A = this chain, B = another copy of it.
């Protein structure tokens, strides 16, 4: 049994709000005592932290779909870990759990936002990626909003990322023609050769609009948008009739300095002429259907039909750096931090 009294928790708190890209000065590492457990609570020793683009939004005090992190609060985020002490009858010591535990080494939970993991312990980091929130985001964005049918042309931006890579694999399984847009040659090689995307565009080297016209002569039926900005504009030039644009992320817009204006979309009119649908969504909307989506994805993974790639950074201290990697597209695969 672990003597909780002797443990110290270390956490990263929000220290200041960024203007443009965040950096390490926006966070502060603190050491805190772990309080006594109340009835119903348990302590999780965190093993893996998730690092995701949406976190940039939580650092800002601009109005968004979820509340901001307050200065001085532990930075939010998903994590997986093992329960080391429990006063909750449904969560036992030794259980592996995933939850919104934040950027810290230990977390106290009452189980409300925690999910017991049934996958192998060696795979638990996947519960932050393809078998977690990014996987669910891909699943509901593609199936509920994109509504693919065989032979649809599906274009995905940030296609090697945690969400995009799952979207592409699900679209391939649905019989679609899949085009991935990425920002480096290794990422391009990966989605083409490992994930079997039909086409790939490196937006840093190629004219996206022109390439889409070549690759998608019948237009784009589904665009899974993780980035917004100029790539969205290029896609709008190449829509098929009744195209569906699934707005999942707008990472191109997340790190604007306070005096910067986002790239303006000048061809909105194409939404009218193609009778297209654009829909923004946050995965929590589909919460009531999470169980079947988890089962579906876990089954695919077990069957070897869902490949995953992780980009691992070691140590809590390096989590800000990991976030910057994600926001600048330097990560290659799902960005996670291993707490050792």
> What are 21 A-B contacts with C-beta separation under 8 Å?
A63-B273, A65-B273, A65-B275, A228-B269, A232-B268, A247-B271, A249-B272, A261-B266, A262-B266, A264-B264, A264-B265, A265-B265, A271-B279, A271-B280, A274-B280, A275-B280, A275-B285, A276-B279, A277-B278, A277-B279, A278-B279
The reply to whether A280 and B272 contact each other, CB–CB distance below 8 Å, is yes
Which residues of B lie under 8 Å from residue A281 when comparing CB positions? 272, 275
With A and B bound together, what is the CA distance between A273 and B281 in angstroms? 7
B residues less than 8 Å from A265 (CB atoms): 264-266, 268
Q: Please report the C-alpha to C-alpha distance between residue A281 and residue B278 in the assembled complex, in whole angstroms.
A: 12
Other A-B contacts than A57-B273, A277-B278, 18 sampled, CB-CB below 8 A, are A65-B272, A65-B274, A232-B268, A247-B272, A250-B268, A250-B269, A250-B272, A261-B266, A262-B266, A264-B265, A265-B265, A271-B279, A271-B280, A274-B280, A275-B280, A275-B281, A275-B282, A278-B279
- The answer to whether the Cβ of A305 comes within 8 Å of any Cβ in the partner chain is no
Task: Name A250's closest neighbour in chain B (CB-CB).
Answer: B269
Quote the shortest CB–CB distance from A125 to chain B (angstroms).
27
Which residues of chain A from 226 to 243 have any CB-CB distance to chain B below 8 Å in the complex? 228, 232
* Chain A interface helix/strand/loop/mixed: loop
> Which of B65, B248, B266, B275 makes the CB contact (< 8 A) with A263?
B266
Number of copies: 2
Bound Cα distance from A278 to B281, whole angstroms: 12
B262 with A263: CB separation less than 8 A = no
Instruction: For the complex formed, measure the closest distance between the CB of A134 and the CB atoms of chain B, giving whole angstroms.
Output: 16
Which one, B272, B275, B277, B280, contacts A273 given CB within 8 A?
Answer: B280
- Give the distance in Å from the alpha carbon of A281 to the alpha carbon of B274 in the complex: 8
A298 to B248, CA, bound (A): 42
In the assembled complex, A202 has its CB within 8 A of some CB on chain B: no
**Is A88 at the interface (CB under 8 A from chain B)?**
no
Q: Does A253 contact B (CB under 8 A)?
A: yes
> Does A64 sit within 8 A of B, measured CB to CB?
yes
Interface check A218, CB cutoff 8 A: no
Question: Which A41-83 residues have C-beta < 8 A from chain B?
Answer: 57, 63-65
CB proximity of A146 to chain B, nearest CB, Å: 13
What distance in Å separates the Cβ of A260 from its nearest Cβ neighbour in chain B?
A: 10
Of the candidates B262, B266, B275, the one whose C-beta lies within 8 Å of that of A267 is B262
Which residues does chain B contribute within 8 Å of A276, judged by CB atoms? Answer: 279-280
Chain B residues positioned under 8 Å from A253 (CB to CB): 268-269
Please, how many angstroms separate the alpha-carbon atoms of A276 and B268 in the complex? 15
From residue A327, how far is it (CB to closest CB) to chain B in Å?
Answer: 15
Contacts of A262 in B (CB 8 A): 266-269
5 interchain residue pairs of minimum CB distance: A264-B264, A272-B280, A278-B278, A271-B280, A250-B269
Contacts of A232 in B (CB 8 A): 268
